[in-house]
Amino acid sequence: MPGLDRITRNVAVMGGKPCVRGMRVTVGTIVGLVASGHGFSEILAAYPYLEEEDIRQALAYAAWRVRRNRSAAAGRMKFPIDMNLSPLWVSFLAEKGFTAIHWSTIGEPCAPDSEILDFAAANDWIVFTHDLDFGMLLASLRTSRPSVIQVLPSAIGDIVLRAIETAKSNLEAGALVTVEPFRYRVRVLPI
């Protein structure tokens, strides 16, 4: 990362926590103050021995650590996406730095859940599914691998209900409602 040496040069580790210029002011303290809405001038008034550049460096260091940790975790995690989920999950996860492949490209579409589990365990992958049977299968096998992520419709159920309530009159008249995890769109028909 360009400028990383400049960032890390101004951050020292004391007691296991990164601190600004070796002072006893942690990066976490500064990030917490900024996150809770305190402006630079308020922080500098509370810590008169800090400089504005110290705050910027603390924020840059924290951002670098988050990116580094996220990319390291993403690089290690691999997901076979079960048949009951859209292949669009593959590109979504890939955009976030994960390796993902839809089961339709590597196995039989009607393969039993045990075959998917065996594949994931043998290759150290994490099964990504909508199927609740995987939990029962893992329990009956008493195995510690592979991990499974279950994406449940109820996880977005509230937003679906809000979309239905909000778009009720449009739906009764004719509409296309697109529901995403954190929002929905209403398009009145005809399009």
User: What is the number of structural domains in the chain?
Assistant: 3
- Among candidate residues 20, 40, 74, the one where a domain is terminated: 74
Are 159 and 140 in a shared domain? Answer: no
Are 44 and 84 in a shared domain? Answer: no
Are 38 and 95 in a shared domain? Answer: no
Are 27 and 93 in a shared domain? Answer: no
* pLDDT tens series, the chain, 191 aa: 344 444 444 556 666 788 888 788 888 889 888 888 889 999 999 999 999 999 998 888 888 777 766 555 555 688 899 998 889 888 888 887 788 999 999 888 888 888 998 998 898 888 888 887 888 888 888 877 788 888 776 666 677 778 888 888 887 888 887 877 777 888 888 76
Cβ-contact 186, 167 below 8 angstroms = yes
- Among candidate residues 74, 103, 121, the one where a domain is terminated: 74
- Among candidate residues 74, 109, 135, the one where a domain is terminated: 74
* Domain that includes residue 140, residue range: 77-151
Are 130 and 176 in a shared domain? Answer: no
Are 111 and 162 in a shared domain? Answer: no
Are 164 and 179 in a shared domain? Answer: yes
Cβ-contact 113, 148 below 8 angstroms = no
Are 160 and 135 in a shared domain? Answer: no
Are 135 and 163 in a shared domain? Answer: no
Are 145 and 84 in a shared domain? Answer: yes
CATH number at residue 33: 1.10.10.10
pTM to 2 decimals?
0.51
Alpha helices in the chain (DSSP H): 4-9, 27-35, 40-46, 52-76, 88-95, 113-123, 133-141, 157-166, 168-173
